[in-house]
Amino acid sequence: MSKNLVLQPPRGTRDWLPEEAYAKRIVSEKIREVFESYGYGEVITPAFEYLDLLKAKAGEEVVEQIYAFKDKAGRELGLRFEMTTPIARIVASRLDLAKPLRFYYVQPVWRYEEPQRGRWREFWQAGIELFGISEPEGDAEVVAVTFDALKAVGLKDFDIRVNDRRVVEDLVLGAGIPGDLLPSALRVLDKMDKFGEEYVVSELAKLGLREDAATSLLEKLKSGSLDIDTSTQPGREGLRRLALVVDTLKNCYGINVTVDYAIVRGLGYYTGFVFEVKAGSSEGLGSIAGGGRYDDLVSVVGGPKIPASGMAIGVERLLEALSMQGALKLDYREVDVCVIPVKKTPEILSEAVAVARELRVAGMKVVLEVSERSLSKLLEAASKRGARFAIILGERELKEGVVTVRDLYLWKEEKVARPHLYEYIRAGSST
Partner RNA sequence: GCCUCGGUGGUGUAGCCUGGGAACACGUCGGCCUGUGGAGCCGAAGACCCCGGGUUCAAAUCCCGGCCGAGGCCCCA
Q: Which residue ranges are tagged as binding site for L-histidine?
A: 82-84, 111, 125, 129, 265, 269-270
Measure the CA angle with vertex 41, ends 23 and 127; round to 5°. Answer: 50
Closest separation in Å from C-beta 68 to RNA = 15
Q: Which of 411, 419, 430, 431 binds RNA (CB under 7 A)?
A: 411
- Residue 404 as a binder of RNA (CB under 7 A): the answer is yes
Residue 12 interacts with RNA (CB under 7 A): yes or no: yes
Q: Which of 290, 303, 307, 310 touches RNA by CB under 7 A?
A: 290
Scanning 36-44, 128-136, 221-229, 282-290 for contacts with RNA by CB under 7 A, the matching segment is 282-290
The correct pick among 408, 416, 421, 425 for binding RNA (CB under 7 A) is 408
154-193 footprint of RNA as x/- string (CB under 7 A): ---------------------------------x--xx--
CB-count burial class (<10 Å; 0-12, 13-18, 19+) for 17? exposed
Q: Which of 79, 214, 255, 392 binds RNA (CB under 7 A)?
A: 392
Among 92, 164, 397, 416, binds RNA (CB under 7 A): 397
Nearer to RNA (CB atom), residue 80 or residue 248: 80
Among 94, 210, 333, 373, binds RNA (CB under 7 A): 373
Q: How many residues bind RNA (CB under 7 A)?
A: 66
| Interstrand relation of 412-417 and 122-131 (parallel, antiparallel or unpaired) | unpaired
Based on its alpha-carbon atoms, the radius of gyration of the chain, rounded to whole angstroms, reads 28
Residue 111: HSE in the Cβ half-sphere, 13 Å Cα cutoff: 18
Give the footprint of RNA on residues 197-256 (CB under 7 A): none
**Least distance CB 393 / RNA (angstroms):** 7
Tell me which of 61, 157, 229, 247 binds RNA, using CB under 7 A.
61
- What is the nearest approach in angstroms of RNA to the Cβ of residue 61? 5
- In the 3-class helix/strand/coil scheme, how is the chain assigned residue by residue? CCCCCCCCCCCCCCCCCHHHHHHHHHHHHHHHHHHHHCCCEECCCCCEEEHHHHHCCCCHHHHCCCCEEECCCCCEEEECCCCHHHHHHHHHHCCCCCCCEEEEEEEEEECCCCCECCECCEEEEEEEEEECCCCHHHHHHHHHHHHHHHHHCCCCCEEEEEEEHHHHHHHHHHCCCCHHHHHHHHHHHCCHHHHCHHHHHHHHHHCCCCHHHHHHHHHHHHHCCCCCCCCCHHHHHHHHHHHHHHHHHHHHHCCCCEECCCCCCCCCCCCCEEEEEEECCCCCCCCCEEEEECCCHHHHCCCCCCCEEEEEEEHHHHHHHHHHCCCCCCCCCCCCEEEEECCCCHHHHHHHHHHHHHHHHCCCCEEECCCCCCHHHHHHHHHHCCCCEEEEECHHHHHHCEEEEEECCCCEEEEEEHHHHHHHHHHHHCC
Which of 53, 379, 421, 425: binder of RNA (CB under 7 A)? 379
- Whole-number minimum distance, CB 113 to RNA, in Å? 5
Q: Is 377 one of the binding residues for RNA (CB under 7 A)? A: yes
Is residue 107 within the footprint of RNA (CB under 7 A)? Answer: no
Which parts of 310-329 interact with RNA (CB under 7 A)? 312-314, 316-317
| Shortest distance (Å) from residue 64 CB to RNA | 9
> For residues 112-151, which are near RNA according to CB under 7 A?
113-121, 123, 125
Which of 132, 176, 286, 428: binder of RNA (CB under 7 A)? 286
Whole-number minimum distance, CB 267 to RNA, in Å?
Answer: 5
Among 248, 406, 421, 425, binds RNA (CB under 7 A): 406
Nearest CA among 395, 333, 399 for reference residue 367: 333
Verify binding: residue 30, RNA, rule CB under 7 A: no
Q: Count of alpha carbons within 13 Å of 321, Cβ hemisphere only?
A: 30
Between 12 and 135, name the residue whose CB sits nearer to RNA: 12
Rule CB under 7 A: which residues touch RNA? 6-8, 10-12, 61, 82, 111, 113-121, 123, 125, 187, 190-191, 194, 264-267, 276, 284, 286-290, 312-314, 316-317, 342-343, 371-377, 379-381, 383-384, 392, 394-397, 404, 406-409, 411, 413
